[in-house]
Chains A and B, each alone.
Chain A
Amino acid sequence: MKKLALLTLISTMAFAADAPVLIQNATILTITNGTVKGSILLQDGKIAAIGDKVMAPPGTVVIDGAGKYVMPGIIDCHSHIMAEAINEGSVSVSSMVGIPDVLNPEDIAIYRALAGGVTTANILHGSANSIGGKTIVMKMRWGKDAEEMKFEGAMPGIKFALGENPKRAGQSAGGRGAAPTAGRYPATRMGVEDVIREAFNDAVAYKATWDFYNARVAKGEVAIPPARDLKLEPLVEVLEGKRLVHAHCYRQDEILMLLHVADDYHFKIRTLQHVLEGYKVAKEIQERGTGASTFADWWAYKIEANDAIPYNAAILVKKGVLTSLNSDDAELMRHLDKEAAKTVKYGGLTETEALSLITINPAKQLMIDKKVGSLEVGKDADVLLYDGHPLSNFSKVTKVWIDGHEYFDMDQDVQDRPKKEAEKKALVTKAAAEQRLGGGGGRGGNNSAAQGVPQQ
């Protein structure tokens, strides 16, 4: 009992800065437990109560939610914001690199994503390599440093990629418009499969080397330990189920190929990303418990995206595949709610099913659904307040809380704009004046790349 009291005290202290928040008379879309007309209480970083009548402790900030909607924070299963590097395109297996090393918590796209209701995002390596870099799940705690934005306890991931991007021979960068350079294996879909199999063969052998060493040491023999290999360690984690695989893919043939490779090596593909032809192989995806994270209606931007249909998400849902909608883009990320709305029109999903695609489903895919993804007592208070139904084109997010802390407020934003504008203008004017005087200090030249200030 004493211990419990102490724990309560500690958790209260941790969120001491945030008074409890009570939103009254609102339409509460819980996603997992239907719609509630009533109140929701955010306290100590968690959802403390939901119901017709909710008692609020003294000091609670009360918000009138009449005519407004409350829903859980949006979760984007595929984003590249806040990363200062996306692709390590020099090699076909780049599992030694990781997005956690290059996070930029000051990326303005974080704030803009918040304004669109995103509270959690899966930050992925790019798709230039058959096996790409390590990925990480982040909460959009704008203003905190990178460490504080990490989603506590979320499983780490790794990016795989199939098809055109990784096989793009002659452009080692793997990006559109990249200068032609010496070709990089693989150049075909067959080669992509080979690269992945080779990498896992190496990982299996690497693990065996360590097992052998540990066995010798256990027997008391003198041995030199194997050198740690940061490229193979994440793949061993995949084999051991300790790291989630998020695989970029388009065509049904390559989707089946990857599922079969995973079968052969006894690991799971956690999510297929894009998976625009997923509707053709929904049964095979569903059988393996693999998730699908797709676009609502983005298509034909490349040959392998030509067979995409806007019914993809709805068909996958109806076939029992755990499905989400993602952005893969800083702009699209700001209106994932409207992307979800499209699945009501194309495929006839219910409103709750549609909203699940951007809340509880991606939470399950990322294995963070015990904490986020729906409005349930005890879950993290990652909550959005809308001025209308979230699926309506005329509605917008007016407030966003993460862990019960308010990170976005539309009125405050509008109010702050003139001040920020003036601040900026003053700096520009001052800099221009200094430049005219020629006293700029330093010589400008020799701008070493390591120290350049990247533009946002």
Chain B
Amino acid sequence: MRRTLPTILLVPLAIAGAAGQLSAGEGPSTYVLRDARIVRVSGPVIEHGTIVVRDGLIEAVGENIAPPADAWVIECKGLTVYPGLVDALSNWGLTNTPAPAVAAAGGRGGGRAQAAVVSTPVATATVTITSAPARGPEDRPSNVAYNKAADQIFPTDRNIESARNGGYTAAVTFPTGNIFAGQGSVISLAGDRAGDMVIVPSVGQMITLANRGFGGGGGGYPGSLMGSIAYVRQIYLDAEHYKLAKSIYEKNPQGLPRPAYDRTLEGVLASDRVMLPAERSVEVERMIAFAKEMKMNVVLYGGHEAWRDTDLLKKTNTPVLVSLKYPVKAADSDPMMDEPLRTLEMREKAPTAAGALAKAGVKFAFYSDGVSTPRDLMRAVKKAIDAGLSPTDAIRALTLSPAEIFGVSNRLGSIDKGKIADLVVVDGDLFSGAKVKYVFVDGTKFEPTDEPAGGGRGGRGGANPGGEAR
């Protein structure tokens, strides 16, 4: 998929003069999507309506709207327009695995790089902090709270294009790989320069609580789940103290010792939203108790067993990000292994989590959790729908709900006048093999190509797309 040049446009009304001379990024700035079924998400569905897109924003939406004279009109009869999909917790944009056409940007060589690159090169470079085993929280182990996704974006990341092909237009993308992994950013899934892609640079701190083994294995503190939780607690107390100490000092610099500068605490204080992992019911309860103790503005992620805790989540008004990678039995597991009923049940019922949350009125959104192909993501959403989630709630969990959870619903997540023109136009049912016809990101129009996205084969330099099969 690549930017559609005006020469391929369907119904140019006016300004044909410029056709053929526009380079990428200089497409028309005004579009009209006519006679479309419009799923606004923020309000009732408009069965036959018009959307005007101008200069990256939605200028108008409604039933009786006259197309402006300077607009390129796209006939959408029989097509449905949704707000662009938002991945509520993502790593898209942070991986240096360029799409084939721009492979020159990264030296890792097209095809196999996807598996090899897990974290961002920037994050990897920063993690050399733990050369000596940490002796406690004061050594700030596994802490890159100051890292900001917005500063680490690779516009050439192939995941951007492949997600966009499936109708995703924005992602709340987070660094990963450390207990304090850094700050997430809301980004647009299109753009030539990283800076242009950033919608909000800092929307939360990513916390992971991976079990680091029995005793650290020489890796130092923390070496257990218990240690990780205690560490997070100490850091947030430290941050609180840091803020207080600085404010006291600023008022009375004479006669007071100067508080030391601490870049990790600066990072922690950059956003008050905290992402905490909660896959199992036990973890949901544990993290809610922890967030309450620490008075955190918390968002839980994982959520596959959250159907057990809907009352608690509702009562505490805790938003949940539900992973679209359902738990499965490991392919290489012992076939004779006797698994506990609880584990079997969790796998069986994971797709019911979203429906249960919707029914209970808990705010939730879907996230990709490492599944990079939109087809697989839509299949997983379909599974949740088959397990009881209404399609209306499903689309909300992919658009307006993530925008609300991250405080950007005033600019993203629904088809409303004045919002960012992120749209997806499909032929058919979004969750059952619909064909994505057009995607608008920041008002720029894209048409998915038929070639499988992110196939990763060949195309070094892009001269011969689809050729050269390695």
Task: Please give the residue numbers on chain A whose beta carbons come within 8 Å of chain B beta carbons, in ascending order.
Answer: 84-91, 94, 96-99, 101-106, 108, 125, 128, 133, 145-147, 171-175, 178-179, 181-182, 222-225, 227-228, 230-231, 420, 423-424, 427-428, 430-431, 435, 440-451, 453, 455-456
Contact = CB atoms under 8 A, between A and B. Distances in A.
12 contacts: A88-B223, A96-B231, A101-B226, A106-B342, A145-B285, A172-B217, A424-B344, A442-B380, A450-B208, A453-B280, A453-B327, A456-B342
Interface in B113-133: 133
Contacts of A86: 214, 224
A89 B224 contact: yes
Interface string B277-299: 10111100110011000000000
Contacts of B238: 227
B371 interface: yes
Contacts of A146: 282, 285-286, 289
Contacts of A104: 282
Given A101-B290, A102-B225, A173 B329 contact: no
A224 B259 contact: yes
B244 A225 contact: yes
Contacts of A440: 328
Given A88-B226, A173-B215, A181-B218, A428 B244 contact: no
Given A85-B225, A450-B208, A442 B216 contact: no
A444 B282 contact: no
B341 interface: yes
Nearest to A128: B215
B228 to A, nearest CB: 9
Given A178-B215, A227-B241, A101 B328 contact: no
Contact of B210 (A133, A182, A431, A449): A449
Contact of A182 (B133, B221, B234): B133
Given A88-B222, A91-B221, A224-B248, A444 B331 contact: yes
B245 A431 contact: no
Nearest to B223: A90
Nearest to B327: A453
B340 A101 contact: no
Contacts, number: 209
A156 B208 CA distance: 28
B348 A172 contact: no
Given A431-B344, A451-B302, A87 B376 contact: no
Nearest to A228: B237
B221 A88 contact: yes
A173 B214 CA distance: 6
B256 interface: yes
A448 B330 contact: no
B135 interface: yes
Nearest to A83: B226
Given A89-B223, A456-B340, A175 B328 contact: no
A101 B230 contact: yes
A85 B329 contact: no
A85 B211 contact: yes
Given A427-B344, A444-B330, A449-B211, 8 more contacts: A88-B224, A101-B226, A103-B286, A125-B226, A174-B215, A225-B245, A427-B345, A442-B371
B290 to A, nearest CB: 7
A145 B308 CA distance: 11
A175 B255 CA distance: 50
B341 A427 contact: yes
B233 interface: yes
Given A224-B245, A430-B348, A448-B210, A424 B376 contact: no
A173 B217 contact: yes
B459 interface: no
A427 B231 CA distance: 39
Residue of B217, B289, B345 with highest tally of chain A CB at under 10 A: B217
B325 A443 contact: yes
A442 B328 contact: yes
Given A424-B341, A447-B330, A101 B286 contact: yes
Contacts of A230: 137, 230, 233-234, 237
Given A90-B215, A427-B345, A455-B340, A442 B326 contact: yes
Interface in B311-331: 323-331
Contacts of A174: 215
B225 A428 contact: no
Contact of B257 (A108, A224, A430): A224
A453 B209 contact: no
Contacts of A88: 215, 221-224, 226-227, 230
Contacts of A89: 214-216, 223-224
A84 B209 CA distance: 12
Given A146-B285, A450-B209, A455-B340, A224 B346 contact: no
A313 B259 CA distance: 55
Contact of B218 (A94, A108, A172, A225): A172
A442 B348 contact: no
A445 B376 CA distance: 14
B270 interface: no
B370 interface: yes
A427 B348 contact: yes
A178 B140 CA distance: 25
Contacts of A98: 226, 230
B220 interface: yes
Contacts of B245: 224-225, 227
A90 B344 contact: no
A173 B216 contact: yes
